[in-house]
Homo-oligomer: A and B are copies of this chain.
Amino acid sequence: MRTKPQPTTSIATSDAQRILIRGHDLVEDLIGQVSFTEMFLLQLTGQRPSAAQVRVLDAVLVTLMEHGITPSVIATRLIYHSAPDALQAAVAAGLLGVGTTFIGTMEGCAANLEEMLAAPEGVEARARAIALRHKEAGKAVHGFGHPHHKPDDPRTPRMLAVAEREGVPGRHLAALRTLSAQVDDVYGRHLTINATGASAALLGEIGIPQKVMRGVAVVSRSAGLVGHIQEEITRPSAVYIWETVDEAIPYR
């Protein structure tokens, strides 16, 4: 007994001769003609993206790919050492860390921008309300501040410049700048727009829904983690990491 009507998919279909993805012939129209990033946007939105949208997504994917020795990288290297015949598991272990603590702030920032853009009282008034609400609750405003990059995250102005150069509509960029001004004013000091905040605005500009933005980070980070596996193959670190951590946390 089915409780739901039959679902359908509009992503892909194939027969012996032909593979259609989002209505386009994979062989005739896509392989050799579109980049990974263009294909990703087609897969995600169902629409052939503009060149500008592709470049904006590339800017986000390039920014988020690699951050040095992160928790995800450590997990991936250790799991690769434990199961080197299952490379996919090592990548998956690291990707499980693309969660609320780090990349979740991108979604929180995007939600704030969407709230501002939909507010009947106007973007600026709602920006101030958001900043005040967070300050009163003693919570950080998602997308602002950075533990190492002070006073300013160097990635942010470049990311915003790319989006402006590409001529995106600009509503999310403007909202982010408005929110930034209100945050600085309400908190009484300058808090940098960080790279996840900028990512939220850029992805908003090219129509990526807020609920799936984390997926963009997952894709970008998967490439970063594969690079670390390749380095782990040629310059193994996992046993050293293990011994170092074991020594660093004494039994008491």
Contacts and interface: CB of A to CB of B under 8 A. Distances in A.
A216 to B, nearest CB: 7
Interface residues of A, number: 121
A37 B58 CA distance: 9
Residues of A contacting B: mostly:
helix
Contacts of A69: 9, 242, 245-246, 249
A235 B7 contact: yes
A92 interface: yes
Interface string A4-39: 101111111111111111000011001110111101
Copy count, this protein chain: 4
Given A7-B235, A83-B88, 7 more contacts: A8-B249, A11-B231, A31-B59, A35-B37, A36-B220, A39-B223, A71-B78
Interface of A: 1-4, 6-21, 26-27, 30-32, 34-37, 39-40, 43-45, 55, 57-59, 61-63, 65-72, 74-75, 78-79, 81-93, 95-102, 148-150, 154-155, 158-159, 161-162, 165, 209, 211-212, 214-216, 218-220, 222-231, 233, 235-246, 248-252
